[in-house]
Amino acid sequence: MITVENVTKTFGGTRALTNVSLTAKPGRITGFLGPNGAGKSTAMRIICGLARPDSGTALVEGVPYAHLPNPARRVGALLDASAHHDGRTGLETLTLAAIALGIPRTRVTEVIALVGLTPKEARRRVGTYSLGMRQRLGIATALLPDPRILILDEPVNGLDPSGIRWMRDLLRHFADDGGTVLLSSHLLMEIEAVADDIIVIGNGQIVAQGAKEDLLRGSSTSVSALSIDPLRSALLTAGHTADTVGPHSVTTSADPETVGRLALDHQIVLTGLHQQSSGTLEDLFFSLTSNHDRTVTPQGAPS
């Protein structure tokens, strides 16, 4: 489990994070979203012990990352796919990491196969790798110690559609096995497809977090009944809205449970009941970050 509480971080005179609090739970994939410069990478670096907060705490399994016994074996991280030495082969990169962590070299062969690098590719120098191959090598390095926590910054960047599907399946299996995943990505549709929980950050502040279903759930309920007028009257009397959308349907501010109870109390037969969606994750993202995003005014256009 990852727990960040009231973390603030300033670089020079620039405030990167302001009282950031977030949680990533075991058994769930947590998507971490925000515009460029919003503070995602800074928060992830603080969690991984690569930067110190000015105030607040960032805990991994209940303690700061640096206080974990052999932390590199407990947490697998991919924060920069270009960080590997270009002159080494992929196999050499993983073998040296295994030696440093005290991991059997047989595990190197396992993760190479797991991330889809061929033996021939593993023997090529990293400097010849495409971005997608570098990502696979970075993921292999993160998975090498068989960790219980994964912290991944833009892991699908450079992957083709089959690679993205592979990544989705890998993370789903990891979380279903009880692992904790904190995943940052600019691909909103991919986050929507794979994440259980969502955290949105803008201008160094958390603007929303919670279960994906709760964040995307709308605030209105669509209901149909054999006799809609008695139901509409009951809803209005109870202080809810009831907008007619058809001869047998209304949209109301009441939640589905409230509608069901009112219908039962008034012996009204319902033929349809569902909570309306507020839209896609993309809709939610832009509605929450519109005041925090970087915008560029086209030359000659009014600002």
Per-residue pLDDT, 278: 60
CATH 3.30.70 domain position(s) in the chain: 218-277
Per-residue pLDDT, 297: 40
Rg (the chain; Cα; Å)? 24
Confidence of residue 207 (pLDDT cuts 50, 70, 90): confident
d(CA 202, CA 11): 17
CATH architecture of 218-277: 2-Layer Sandwich (3.30)
Tokens representing 27 are 């058994």
Closest CA to 174 of 201, 142, 202, 205: 142
pLDDT in tens, 125-140: 999 999 889 999 999 9
d(CA 109, CA 91): 8
Which whole number is the average pLDDT over 101-112?
A: 93
d(CA 175, CA 259): 36
Write the DSSP string, 85-114: -TTSBHHHHHHHHHHHHT--THHHHHHHHH
d(CA 184, CA 48): 14
- Of these ranges, 53-67, 216-230, 277-291, the one predicted with the greatest mean pLDDT is 53-67
Confidence of residue 295 (pLDDT cuts 50, 70, 90): very low
d(CA 103, CA 144): 8
| Position 303 pLDDT exceeds 50 | no
Please give the sequence-ordered ranges of beta strands (E in DSSP) within the chain, or none if there are none.
2-11, 14-24, 29-33, 55-60, 75-78, 149-153, 180-184, 197-202, 205-211, 217-225, 243-246, 249-252, 270-277
Per-residue DSSP letter, 63? B
Looking at the DSSP bridge assignments, the partners of residue 302 are none
Confidence of residue 230 (pLDDT cuts 50, 70, 90): very high
**Average pLDDT score over the chain:** 87
Residue range 2-214 forms a domain whose CATH class is alpha beta
Of the given ranges (20-24, 158-162, 177-181, 227-231), which has the lowest mean pLDDT?
A: 158-162
Tokens representing 40 are 């995602």
Looking at the DSSP bridge assignments, the partners of residue 60 are 2, 63
Higher pLDDT, 296 or 86: 86
Give the strand pairing for 55-60 and 2-11.
Answer: antiparallel
Per-residue pLDDT, 195: 93
| Position 178 pLDDT exceeds 80 | yes
Cβ neighbours, 10 Å, residue 145: 21
Per-residue pLDDT, 73: 87
Per-residue pLDDT, 263: 93
The proportion of the chain whose per-residue pLDDT surpasses 90, expressed as a percent, equals: 56
The pTM (predicted TM-score) of the whole model is: 0.75
SS3 letters for 1-51?
A: CEEEEEEEEEECCEEEEEEEEEEECCCCEEEEECCCCCCHHHHHHHHCCCC
| Position 22 pLDDT exceeds 90 | yes
| Position 248 pLDDT exceeds 70 | yes
Whether 252 contacts 241, CB under 8 Å: yes
CATH 3.40.50.300 domain position(s) in the chain: 2-214
Per-residue pLDDT, 187: 79
| Position 148 pLDDT exceeds 50 | yes
Both ends of the chain: CA-CA distance in Å? 44
d(CA 250, CA 272): 10
Per-residue pLDDT, 218: 63
Whether 179 contacts 150, CB under 8 Å: yes
pLDDT in tens, 280-293: 777 767 766 766 55
Which whole number is the average pLDDT over 251-269?
A: 90
Closest CA to 46 of 74, 83, 11: 11
Which whole number is the average pLDDT over 191-211?
A: 89
pLDDT in tens, 88-100: 999 999 999 999 9
